Amino acid sequence: MRSVRIVTDSNADVPPNIASELGIAVVPNYIYFGQEVIRDGIDLTPQAFFGKMAGSPCHPRTTHPPVSEFVGTYQQLMNGSGADAIISIHVASTVSGTVNAAWAAAQMLPNPSQVEIIDSGQLSMGLGWVVIKAAELANGGASRTEVVEAVKSLLPRLRVVAMIDTLDNLVRGGRISQLSASLGTLLQVKPLLTMRSGQVSILGRVRTRARALSRLVEQVQGWGPLAGLAVMHAGAEERARTLAEAFSGIAGPRMLIAPAGAALTTHLGLGAVGVCGLMAGGE
């Protein structure tokens, strides 16, 4: 029995085999294709989602997990698995209502204080690296306080950068206008985005994919030595593998190449690639 259990949401993009091995409970986002409802990572694998998204006339919409999903997960861990405490670590509250849903679920439990909610200020494997580390510590016998302190110390060391290959999804999601997208497409503009402490910012709007990927590599190499690095892709595995070759000198002991989940792909679009790193530090 684990006295401390770790919960996250599917925005973390933790590979299923790692989540299973470490006993991480992943609460799914909901994806809508018209009236069809899909649970992220449960009803469709990322690869199947890429194909469905490419062929569907409907642009998918995403919502955070409902409160009921969190309540069920927390109850199962405490009543079914005998957890004394739950540390629930989630996608940045600036881009999703997931943290609020998790908090509301905790208040519905007989003892809400058994659940610690943490806003990672990150997404994808930027969140995933912290979740993995928390689960490793919990499985090793660390107390709730020790895990929470470790997680909070790791958050400033997270880095994320991504290249958007097509502007179509940003238009459909209402992020930019059709005119801006048309001009960007004509000029072959590939935006580079980063996220720190919950804030998304544009590193640059680079002409051509080759130049954008080169700029992305330079950005990651500037991070310095890493304790973990994940190259994520939205249906662009070959591109991701090519990128990963450039990071062999700084990747540290852990490097993953993995598909992005449905929630991230819905917003960034197919063809996007990103790098999520945990900077090396005193472990």
Q: Are residues 131 and 191 in the same domain?
A: no
Look up the CATH number of the domain holding residue 260: 3.30.1180.10
Confidence of residue 168 (pLDDT cuts 50, 70, 90): low
Residues spanned by the domain of 151? 4-155
pLDDT digit string (tens) for 254-265? 899 999 998 888
Residues in Cβ contact with 96 at an 8 Å cutoff, skipping those fewer than 6 apart:
11, 64, 90
Alpha-carbon gap, residue 18 to 27, rounded angstroms: 15
**239 and 259 fall within a common domain:** yes
pLDDT band at 2 (very low <50, low <70, confident <90, very high): low
Q: Provide the pLDDT for residue 203.
A: 81
Which DSSP symbol is given to 44? B
Task: Give the pLDDT of residue 64.
Answer: 94
Task: Please name the residues in contact with 210: beta carbons below 8 A apart, sequence gap of 6 or more.
Answer: none
Phi, psi (5° rounding) for residue 150? Answer: -65, -45
Reported as a pLDDT band with limits 50, 70 and 90, residue 186 is very low
Given a cut of 80, whether residue 283 has pLDDT beyond it is: no
Tell which of 155, 171, 191 closes a domain.
155
Domain check: are 127 and 167 in the same one?
no
What is the per-residue pLDDT for 244? 92
What pLDDT does residue 61 have? 87
State how far the Cα of 79 lies from the Cα of 99, in Å rounded to an integer: 22
For residues 10 and 69, the answer to whether their CB atoms sit within 8 Å is: no
Is 175 found in the same domain as 51?
Answer: no
pLDDT in tens, 45-95: 899 999 998 888 888 888 999 999 999 999 999 998 889 999 999 999 998
Instruction: Compare 186 and 40 and report the one with higher pLDDT.
Output: 40
Q: Quick check: pTM over 0.75? A: yes
Backbone region of residue 16 per phi and psi (left: phi > 0; alpha: psi in -120 to 50; beta: other values): alpha
Is there a single domain that holds both residue 184 and residue 262? yes
CA nearest neighbour of 93 among 84, 85, 82, 102: 102
Q: Give pLDDT tens digits for 112-156.
A: 999 999 999 999 999 999 999 999 999 999 999 999 999 999 999
Helix ranges, 173-235 (H): 178-186, 209-221
What is the β-pairing status of strands 158-163 and 25-27?
A: unpaired
127, 155, 183: which is the final residue of a domain? 155
**What's the pLDDT score for residue 264?**
85
Number of structural domains the chain divides into: 2
- pLDDT band at residue 193 using 50, 70 and 90 as cut-offs: confident
One domain for residues 124 and 56: yes
pLDDT for 282 equals 57
Residues 216 and 111 both lie in one domain: no
**Sequence-distant (≥ 6) Cβ neighbours of residue 151 within 8 angstroms:** 87, 89, 118, 130, 133, 134
Q: Domain check: are 108 and 218 in the same one? A: no
Per-residue model confidence as pLDDT tens digits over 195-243: 888 888 888 888 788 899 999 999 999 988 899 999 999 999 999 999 9
Residue 9 near residue 27, CB atoms below 8 Å: yes
Question: Rounded to an integer, what distance in angstroms lies between the CA atom of residue 240 and that of residue 38?
Answer: 26
Are residues 8 and 24 in contact, defined by beta-carbon separation less than 8 angstroms? yes
Which of 156, 151, 160 lies closest to 130 in space, CA to CA?
A: 151
Residues 242 and 143 in one domain: no
**CATH number where 124 lies:** 3.40.50.10170
Region 262-274: what's the mean pLDDT? 88
Among residues 118, 139, 155, the one where a domain terminates is 155
Residue 19 has pLDDT above 70, yes or no: yes
Residue 5 corresponds to which tokens in the numbers above?
A: 């259990």
Handedness of CA 41, 45, 48, 50 (dihedral sign): positive
For position 174, what pLDDT does the model report? 46
Q: Strand, helix or coil at 13?
A: coil
**Is the pLDDT score of 175 beyond 80?**
no
Q: Are 234 and 221 in a shared domain? A: yes
